[in-house]
Structure 1
Amino acid sequence: MTTRLPLILLLNIAGLALFLSWYLPVNHGFWFPLDSGIFHFFNQELVKSRAFLWLVAITNNRAFDACSLLAMGYLMLSFWRQENAVGRRRIVMMGLTMLLAAVVINQLAQALIPVKRSSPTLFFPDIYRVSELLNISTKDASKDSFPGDHGMMLLIFSAFMWRYFGRKTFVLALIIFIVFAFPRVMIGAHWFSDIAVGSLSVALIGLPWCLMTPLSDRVIALFDRYLPG
């Protein structure tokens, strides 16, 4: 992989523009009515449909987060099973590189983004909370929801799948992203813009320097060289 600097800078500019479209306007400009409308639509559905209430509660339980790990692991396992010993080891090293990138990008985002934002369930008065409607452990609130870290991790996974396994795998990874990231929006633990702006802008700024340069390949080679077989 050669460094594709013009495309990297273009993606960085797109990510920065996306973030500033939310950060600079008073009350976040057009993003706030969109966020508010999406939250209140799903919030009203909680008391209209018992089935929807249970669906949202279950998909925001910590056990469902483990299902996202299983889905990502199964997708990678499907490629691992087709490889010989050398190819399997490389996939494992790629997975470790992906985890390292996710940790570094997430920590930098939390440290550098000058935003601390409560979830809509803590922002709006007189709303419904799943934890009060059902006696079930579920995540329906966050004191610091921006950027959406769960969505960010899933986007990083999707980008790595595209880089190392191609576009078809990227589409499957995006389906995993939608299935496991957007229940947080439906329950009100995240605003829509926490993911559409926060997670995506971080991915657009951070990931190109990892995946569109030799960096990720070099880290994989480094792990392959020094980690035991």
Structure 2
Amino acid sequence: MDNRPLFQARWSWGPLAACTLLPVALLCFWLWPFGQILCLTFDEWLFHSLNAPLAYNTTWRYIWTVGSLRPFDIVVGLILLAVLIRGDFVFKASQVRQAFFGFLVTLILLVVIRALFSKWVDAMGWQHDSPSMVFDNVVHLSDYYPHLEKAWELKDRSSNSFPGDHASVLLIWALFMNLFSRGLVQRLVIWGLAFLFMMPRLVAGAHWGQDDYIGGLLMAVLALGWSCHTPLVAKGSALLLRWTAPLFAIARKVPLIRHMTIIR
């Protein structure tokens, strides 16, 4: 069995610099007046292309209505977790638990970055309404299914849509998985799932594209760089492995879950 550590407790200065400078470049491009015009032009086209078919295509409307429900986020989380801890897909079976805790450390760092960046966005006045609250000719899913909006938190609008926190989680998962993947099929599955699950907010108009490919991406890249290209993820995952070892020892005795790769 290969018991070599998945993460190395060292500073990788080249990748770290790239993961720090890219978010800065994205933010500068977004704040540049001409860059903002390009983003708005593209986002307006993207929104109307995705949103308009909701008015006449019932299947399209049903799919993205389900995807826009808050409880569906739990389903998405379970799917991403299942792919992450599936032994011998991206990570070897012996590395799955390490990978899980490494991603958890990265995700916690993302939450911290997101909280700080959101406060900065509010302080600088960069916040904006979602496209469903800006344009007139918009198809609101909540108008078709008002009962779902009340009972299941159907999300099709936001007065604080930047940055895209939902997209940042999907992107940090995809970037983390992509960092360790080696095959084309793996990468297609990873990025296919990430883009698919980002779509509901874009179709329903809860987010502009720039909320995701600027705001969500810059936070995800920054979190990836300062976790995986520093000693943080190696030391954090090692600490969590030690702390939870007794719990996993108990779990190995439970009939139904002891066969899971992460438990074994």
Q: TM-score, normalised by structure 1?
A: 0.87
**What is residue 37 of structure 1 aligned with on the other side?**
45
C-alpha distance in structure 2 between counterparts of 1:206 and 1:111, whole Å: 17
- Could you say if the C-alpha distance between residues 79 and 12 of structure 1 is closer, same or farther in structure 2, counting changes exceeding 3 Å? same
- 32, 57, 63: which one aligns with 2:71: 63
C-alpha distance in structure 1 between counterparts of 2:190 and 2:43, whole Å: 25
Aligned-partner SS, 1:152: helix
C-alpha distance in structure 1 between counterparts of 2:73 and 2:206, whole Å: 14
Q: How does 1:19-38 map to 2 (within 5 A)?
A: 19-25=27-33, 28-38=36-46
- 202, 223, 236: which one aligns with 1:185: 202
C-alpha distance in structure 1 between counterparts of 2:93 and 2:75, whole Å: 25
1:11 shift after superposition: 3.2
1:26 shift after superposition: 6.5
Q: Is the CA contact 2:85–2:100 (under 8 Å) kept in the aligned structure 1?
A: no
Q: How does 1:20-169 map to 2 (within 5 A)?
A: 20-25=28-33, 28-79=36-87, 83=93, 87=95, 89-113=97-121, 114=124, 115-135=126-146, 136-137=148-149, 138-164=154-180, 166=182, 169=186
88-97 or 131-140, which deviates more: 88-97
C-alpha distance in structure 1 between counterparts of 2:19 and 2:102, whole Å: 23
1:4 shift after superposition: 2.2
Q: TM-score, normalised by structure 2?
A: 0.76
C-alpha distance in structure 2 between counterparts of 1:78 and 1:178, whole Å: 20
1:97 shift after superposition: 1.8
- Could you say if the C-alpha distance between residues 21 and 95 of structure 1 is closer, same or farther in structure 2, counting changes exceeding 3 Å? closer
C-alpha distance in structure 2 between counterparts of 1:16 and 1:152, whole Å: 16
C-alpha distance in structure 2 between counterparts of 1:99 and 1:27, whole Å: 29
C-alpha distance in structure 1 between counterparts of 2:171 and 2:179, whole Å: 12
Is the aligned partner of 1:197 residue 2:214?
yes
Identity of aligned residues (%): 25
C-alpha distance in structure 2 between counterparts of 1:12 and 1:89, whole Å: 28
Q: Is the CA contact 1:98–1:157 (under 8 Å) kept in the aligned structure 2?
A: no
Q: Is the CA contact 2:110–2:220 (under 8 Å) kept in the aligned structure 1?
A: no
1:160 shift after superposition: 2.2
User: Unaligned regions of 5+ residues in structure 1, if any?
Assistant: none
1:121 shift after superposition: 0.7
- Could you say if the C-alpha distance between residues 92 and 204 of structure 1 is closer, same or farther in structure 2, counting changes exceeding 3 Å? closer
138-147 or 97-106, which deviates more: 97-106
1:101 shift after superposition: 2.5
Q: Is the CA contact 1:56–1:183 (under 8 Å) kept in the aligned structure 2?
A: yes
1:101-145 Cα shifts (integer Å, max 9, x gaps): 232232222223342111111122342211102343321001111
Q: Is the CA contact 2:172–2:221 (under 8 Å) kept in the aligned structure 1?
A: no
1:132-174 Cα shifts (integer Å, max 9, x gaps): 0234332100111111001101111122223455565454322
Q: Is the CA contact 1:68–1:176 (under 8 Å) kept in the aligned structure 2?
A: no
Whichever structure has more helix as a proportion of its residues is: 1
**What is residue 262 of structure 2 aligned with on the other side?**
none
Q: Is the CA contact 1:16–1:205 (under 8 Å) kept in the aligned structure 2?
A: no
User: Unaligned regions of 5+ residues in structure 2, if any?
Assistant: 1-7, 247-264
Indicate the RMSD between aligned Cα atoms, in angstroms: 2.4
**What is residue 20 of structure 2 aligned with on the other side?**
12
Read off the aligned partner of 1:13 and give its amino acid letter.
Answer: L
C-alpha distance in structure 2 between counterparts of 1:83 and 1:42, whole Å: 40
**What is residue 206 of structure 1 aligned with on the other side?**
223
Q: Is the CA contact 1:118–1:142 (under 8 Å) kept in the aligned structure 2?
A: yes
C-alpha distance in structure 1 between counterparts of 2:39 and 2:209, whole Å: 9
**What is residue 219 of structure 1 aligned with on the other side?**
236
